[in-house]
Amino acid sequence: MKKTEIKDIPTDVLKKKEKLLRLATGILIGMLIVLVAAAIFISVNNQSFSPMLVVALALFPISLMNIQRIKKIKEEIRRR
């Protein structure tokens, strides 16, 4: 499968990708915050460790990768 480079994608498609990626990343970060808060709340009330915290920390790098991808798309749109 051939991977298309970002400079070969039309501007309107890049803008749509940026908008969608921004929305998805915002939702992901929001859900991670809720998950961490719930894990901490459960851990404090039950006096035991909650595995939900591990899940939240494991999913955090996905949001960082999405933020980096948004920055690359913004740079390419700015160059045009």
Q: What is the pLDDT of residue 34?
A: 95
Residue 72 included in any domain: yes
Residue 53 included in any domain: yes
Query: Which structural domain range is residue 73 located in?
Result: 10-79
Residue 17 included in any domain: yes
Residue 2 included in any domain: no
Q: Is-contact 41 21, C-beta < 8 A? A: no
Q: Which two tokens stand for residue 4?
A: 């298309």
**50: phi then psi, degrees, rounded to nearest 5:** -105, 125
Per-residue pLDDT tens over the stretch 2-54: 678 888 899 999 999 999 999 999 999 999 999 999 999 988 898 888 888 89
Measured distance CA(37)–CA(32) in Å, rounded: 8
The total domain count for the chain is 1
Q: Which two tokens stand for residue 73?
A: 């798309």
Residue 4 included in any domain: no
Residue 5 included in any domain: no
Residue 18 included in any domain: yes
Measured distance CA(30)–CA(60) in Å, rounded: 11
